[in-house]
């Protein structure tokens, strides 16, 4: 076919470049992490725009809704970790943004339990019954295990923040040129098959 059809996409792209709209995906993402006694979530469209006033619902593993809330101007929403008996199977966070966009994020139970203090108590009880006080140096008698643990947790939270941010970034699945070109290849292929069947019909 001697055809100038290929000029259509080229032409469209020239215009797009002229009006300078950045090319990105269209999708919402939600990212959540546990810190201290709370769960922090961030929601954003995949071009990096924050989801404002979007609904976030929290479900347990049975599908019961535990709580819901709206994201703020930064796309953030945080809440206290719900009661222990509901989180044993992990939590599912569902983000519903405007116009039919939706994303899910699952927090596993072990992430939650380690920060709610279940482990803290497990450790604290046997240690105390064995009277380990004599081992602790006399200069720090007032610091008990719980305090130490909360200090460690706070420092860790601080230190892990940048790593969390990196993980969040890597979760934003960017669309690579390979996928785009591959997709166009698929389309040509599919219509090649269509053309084959149409030509057999005649």
- Cβ–Cβ under 8 Å, residues 46 and 24: yes
20 touches another protein (CB under 8 A):
no
Dihedral sign from CA coordinates of 67, 72, 74, 78: negative
2 touches another protein (CB under 8 A):
no
- Give the separation between CA 135 and CA 145, rounded to whole angstroms: 13
Q: Which residue lies nearer to another protein by CB, 19 or 135?
A: 19
Q: Which residue lies nearer to another protein by CB, 27 or 157?
A: 27
190 touches another protein (CB under 8 A):
yes
CB of 4 to another protein, least distance (A): 5
19 touches another protein (CB under 8 A):
yes
> How far is CA 6 from its chain centroid?
40
- Give the separation between CA 143 and CA 116, rounded to whole angstroms: 20
- Cβ–Cβ under 8 Å, residues 53 and 70: yes
Give residues 41-70 in contact with another protein (rule: CB under 8 A). Answer: 45, 47, 49, 51-54
CB of 12 to another protein, least distance (A): 7
Structure tokens given for 12: 């469209």
Considering only 96, 111, 120, 153, the residue that binds another protein (CB under 8 A) is: 96
5 touches another protein (CB under 8 A):
yes
170 touches another protein (CB under 8 A):
no
Q: H-helix or E-strand containing 77?
A: strand 76-80
């Amino acid at each position: 076919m001697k055809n100038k059809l290929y000029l259509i996409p080229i032409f469209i792209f020239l215009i797009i470049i002229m009006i300078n709209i950045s090319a990105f995906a269209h999708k919402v993402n939600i990212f959540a992490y546990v810190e201290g006694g709370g769960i922090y979530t961030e929601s954003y469209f995949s071009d990096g725009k924050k989801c404002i006033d979007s609904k976030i619902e929290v479900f347990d593993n049975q599908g019961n809704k535990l709580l819901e809330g709206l994201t703020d101007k930064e796309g953030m929403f945080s809440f206290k970790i719900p009661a222990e008996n509901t989180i044993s199977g992990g939590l599912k966070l569902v983000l519903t943004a405007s116009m039919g966009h939706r994303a899910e994020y699952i927090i596993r139970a072990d992430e939650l339990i380690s920060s709610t203090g279940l482990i803290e108590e497990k450790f604290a009880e046997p240690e105390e019954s064995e009277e380990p006080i004599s081992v602790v140096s006399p200069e720090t008698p007032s610091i008990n295990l719980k305090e130490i643990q909360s200090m460690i947790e706070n420092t860790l939270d601080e230190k892990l923040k940048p790593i969390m941010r990196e993980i969040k970034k890597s979760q934003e699945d960017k669309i690579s040129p390979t996928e785009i070109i591959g997709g166009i290849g698929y389309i040509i292929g599919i219509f090649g098959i269509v053309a084959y069947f149409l030509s057999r019909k005649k």
